[in-house]
Amino acid sequence: MASNLSGKRIAILATDGVEQVELTEPRKALESAGAKTELISPKSNQIKGWKFTQWGDNHKVDKTVEQARAQDYDALVLPGGVMNPDHLRMNPGAVEFVRNFIETGRTVAAICHGPWTLIEVGAVSGRTLTSWPSLKTDLRNAGANWVDREVVTDGQFITSRKPDDIPAFNRTIIEALSGSSKTRAAA
């Protein structure tokens, strides 16, 4: 991907049980395009990934949700897995971070079960989104138009269904950030 995201800062919000490939592959793609990524979590030190059917690797946390400020980032990535977004949507600090980020109007990219957190903050009504198929009813009940597509962009939101969609998910995030006229507010 020949994009220059130099100077862009990307927050990746996750906790234990994050689907590892949905954390590592977007992170790798964004960094290869020149962005700086930071892993934000309700936990400090490290989180443990989930590798399809078993526990995966530990991942170093850069900042806790209490330390991170939404306005310091150009985009937010919400990886999935079942456990990760379920824990995040029950954590007031994580929910507030996502709510504050959405209010900035900047890109929010969620994959798999990641949209659960968007439902929790009340941000999906009237939006067209995709997700892991089991979230279809949850998203529709929250007022979203759920579609079964590899990647969907609706305003500031980019969503994808599953690990197989990661290449399209990454490409769409990078394209959105490359063409964006929005810049990060001065700290």
CA dist 117 and 87 (Å) reads 9
Any domain includes 128: no
Catalytic residues, by residue number, are 112-113
Any domain includes 67: yes
Give the CATH number for residue 37. 3.40.50.880
Contact 20, 49 (CB under 8 A): yes
Number of domains making up the chain: 1
* H-state helical runs in the chain: 20-32, 83-89, 92-104, 115-120, 136-141, 166-179
Any domain includes 119: no
One digit per residue, the tens of pLDDT, for the chain of length 187 reads 446 899 999 999 999 999 999 999 999 999 999 999 999 999 999 999 999 999 999 999 999 999 999 999 999 999 999 999 999 999 999 999 999 999 999 999 999 999 999 999 999 999 999 999 999 999 999 999 999 999 999 999 999 999 999 999 999 999 999 984 343 333 2
Question: Counting runs of H as helices and runs of E as strands, what totals does the chain give?
Answer: 6, 12
Which pLDDT does position 183 carry in this prediction? Answer: 37
Which pLDDT does position 3 carry in this prediction? Answer: 67
Which pLDDT does position 30 carry in this prediction? Answer: 98
Any domain includes 187: no
The domain in which residue 14 lies consists of: 9-112+166-179
CA dist 147 and 153 (Å) reads 11
Q: Which two tokens stand for residue 111?
A: 């994959």
Q: Which two tokens stand for residue 89?
A: 């949507």
Which pLDDT does position 179 carry in this prediction? Answer: 83
Any domain includes 95: yes
Any domain includes 94: yes
